[in-house]
A and B are shown apart, each in its own frame.
Chain A
Amino acid sequence: MKRFFDSELELFRSKLILMGESSVRQVRDAMKALVEGDVALAQRVVAADDEVDRLEIEIDEEAVRYMTLRSPVATELRLVIVGMKASHDLERVGDEATNIAKRVVRLAAEPPLKPYVDLPRMAGIALEMLRDALDCFLDGDEEKALAVCRRDAEVDAINRQLYRELSSFMVEKPVTISRALELMFISKSIERIADHATNIAEEMVYLSRGKDIRHSDEVKRHGTSGESGASEPRR
Chain B
Amino acid sequence: MPSPLLPSSLGSAEGRNPPVVRRPVIEIADLDFHYGTSQALHDISLSIAEKEVTAFIGPSGCGKSTLLRCLNRMNDLIDGARISRGAIRIRGVDIHQRDVEVMELRKRVGMVFQKSNPFPKSIYENVVYGLRLQGVRDKTRLDEAVETSLRGAALWDEVKDRLHASGLSLSGGQQQRLCIARTIAIEPEVILMDEPCSALDPIATAKVEELIHQLKLRYTIVIVTHNMQQAARCSDRTAFFYLGKLIEFAPTKDIFMTPSNPQTEAYVSGRFG
Contact = CB atoms under 8 A, between A and B. Distances in A.
Nearest to B230: A71
B256 A69 contact: yes
Contacts of B77: none
A57 to B, nearest CB: 15
Contacts of B229: 71
A4 B216 CA distance: 12
A1 interface: yes
Contacts of A70: 232-233
Interface residues of A, number: 10
B74 to A, nearest CB: 29
Given A1-B206, A65-B253, A71 B232 contact: yes
- Per DSSP, are chain B's interface residues mostly helix, strand or loop, or mixed? helix
Interface string B237-252: 0000000000000001
Given A5-B233, A70-B232, A71-B232, A65 B213 contact: no
A68 B253 contact: yes
A198 B271 CA distance: 40
B206 A3 contact: yes
B210 interface: yes
Most chain A CB neighbours (cut-off 10 Å) among B206, B207, B257: B257
Contacts of A5: 233
Nearest to A4: B213
Contacts of A65: 253, 257
Given A5-B233, A64-B257, A69 B252 contact: yes
Contacts of A71: 229, 232-233
Interface string A175-214: 0000000000000000000000000000000000000000
Contacts of A3: 206, 210
Contact of A69 (B209, B210, B213, B233): B233
Contacts of A64: 257
Nearest to A71: B229
B164 to A, nearest CB: 28
A135 B218 CA distance: 42
B199 to A, nearest CB: 20
With most chain A CB atoms within 10 A of its CB, the pick from B203, B214, B256 is B256
A68 B233 contact: no
Contacts of A1: 203, 206-207, 210
A126 B233 CA distance: 41
Nearest to B210: A4
A201 to B, nearest CB: 31
Contacts of A4: 209-210, 213-214
B93 to A, nearest CB: 33
Interface string A53-65: 0000000000011
Interface string B76-98: 00000000000000000000000
Contacts of B209: 4
A69 B206 contact: no
13 contacts: A1-B210, A3-B210, A4-B209, A4-B213, A68-B232, A68-B253, A69-B232, A69-B233, A69-B253, A69-B256, A70-B233, A71-B229, A71-B233
Given A65-B257, A68-B257, 18 more contacts: A1-B203, A1-B210, A3-B206, A4-B210, A4-B213, A4-B214, A5-B233, A64-B257, A68-B232, A68-B253, A68-B256, A69-B232, A69-B233, A69-B253, A70-B232, A70-B233, A71-B229, A71-B232
Q: Which 10 A-B pairs have the closest CB atoms?
A: A4-B213, A69-B232, A71-B229, A68-B257, A68-B256, A4-B210, A70-B233, A65-B253, A69-B256, A69-B233
